[in-house]
Amino acid sequence: MNHRLLISLICGILSTTFIAAQETNQGSSDSKIQNDGVFVSAKKIKDSLYYLSYKNTNAVAFLGRDYTILIDGFDAKAAPQALTTAGRLSLNPVRFVINTHHHKDHTGGNDYYSDSGVTVLCNKQVYNNIWDDVNAEVLSDLKKQRSELTQAMKSAGKSERGKKLGAKYNRLSEQNMDRELSYPAMTFSDDFNMNLINESILFKSVSKSHTSLDVYAYFENNNVLATGDLYFNGKYPFIDEDFKGSIDGYLKAIDEMIALCNNDTVIVPGHGPIASKSDLESYKRMLEYTQKGVQMDYLLGKTLEEVLLYRAAEKRYPRKK
């Protein structure tokens, strides 16, 4: 096996042991909204901070002096209830929803928020990833057409037909496509701080971790960390290789987040119950153990089927129910 296969094997182990989020809500809640079978709960973290939960996926609501900010906004089905829930926590309107990454369980409601007057804010690469995900079928068809044209161009050579095929190939370029989503969004690059009257929020961008670009948010005054899917509490993570995610980048991102925390930090993961610094440190040890175990199996020449059958990491670090 080569190095790329090893990385795929590690990501495969984590992905195959990842459990889809359950329909049930966790813990007690201060507010719960139900509509058409959709439950969105809100639990207080600090005076101005709540975490919202739907199908074990989390968002964070910050109640500012003039408006409310949401970190992630669930999928299209839950967005209306999430907005209602957040609206009942404060007299002030929800002004921004900030995406931590592109996956639909966190961004699928963007259209609804935008139509409701909420500004969608995300990293430029996250915006591009959302577009790529929404247009996956179109891009796949484009790739197929370009591949077929490449073969035809080789056969035609430098003939007149070859030149025409080359021109058509250039027109079938992703760069020539309109890369705009159906809703407006404000974008940023790298990191930025949102300095409010009663809080300073650091938004930190990390590359090639859960996806090609993820963002976590640290509320400095309240000492609360919203990780997005850089942390699945009680579950193995999903590393999205199709969007250039990597286990090494994932571990690096966890190191960054741990460095921000102290023993009093409240951590809101993308999935699972709220956690502490020690929980995040334990999670990192589990991932390192899994990575080293797979690397050892790779050196011993084991197949993917043999590694999955053994499941040493899952025996040592059982998933939380």
Q: Is 304 contained in some domain? A: yes
Same domain, 149 and 271: no
Q: Give the model's pLDDT for residue 259.
A: 98
Q: Is 273 contained in some domain? A: yes
Q: Give the model's pLDDT for residue 299.
A: 82
Per-residue confidence in pLDDT tens, the chain, 321 aa: 455 555 555 555 565 544 333 233 333 345 555 556 789 999 999 999 999 999 999 999 999 999 999 999 999 999 999 999 999 999 999 999 999 999 999 999 999 999 999 999 999 999 999 999 988 777 677 677 777 778 777 777 778 877 777 776 676 665 556 778 999 999 999 899 999 998 999 999 999 999 999 999 999 999 999 999 999 998 889 999 999 999 999 999 999 999 999 999 999 999 999 999 999 999 999 999 888 888 887 788 888 787 777 666 666 666 655
Same domain, 35 and 114: yes
Q: Nearest to residue 16, comparing CAs of 290, 252, 227?
A: 290
Q: Which helix (H) or strand (E) holds 171?
A: helix 160-171
Q: Is 36 contained in some domain? A: yes
Q: Nearest to residue 269, comparing CAs of 25, 53, 19, 42?
A: 53
Q: Give me the domain span that covers residue 148.
A: 136-176
Q: Is 204 contained in some domain? A: yes
Q: Is 321 contained in some domain? A: no
Tell me the CA distances in angstroms from 203 to 72, 109, 186, 233, 255, one per residue in order: 13, 21, 14, 21, 16
The CATH code of the domain that includes 108 is: 3.60.15.10
Same domain, 147 and 270: no
Same domain, 116 and 216: yes
Query: How many C-beta atoms lie closer than 10 Å to residue 1's C-beta?
Result: 13
Q: Give the model's pLDDT for residue 292.
A: 85
pTM (predicted TM-score)? 0.82
Q: Give the model's pLDDT for residue 239.
A: 95
Q: Nearest to residue 72, comparing CAs of 40, 46, 31?
A: 40
Q: Is 268 contained in some domain? A: yes
The pairing of beta strand 119-123 with beta strand 94-98: parallel
Position of tokens 């592109």? 102
Q: Is 197 contained in some domain? A: yes
* Contact present, 45 and 51 (Cβ < 8 Å): yes
C-alpha angle 123-214-80 in degrees, rounded to nearest 5? 75
- Strands (E) across 72-212 are located at 94-98, 119-123, 185-188, 192-195, 200-207
**3-state SS, one letter per residue, for 288-299:** HHHHHHHHHHHH
- How many structural domains is the chain composed of? 2
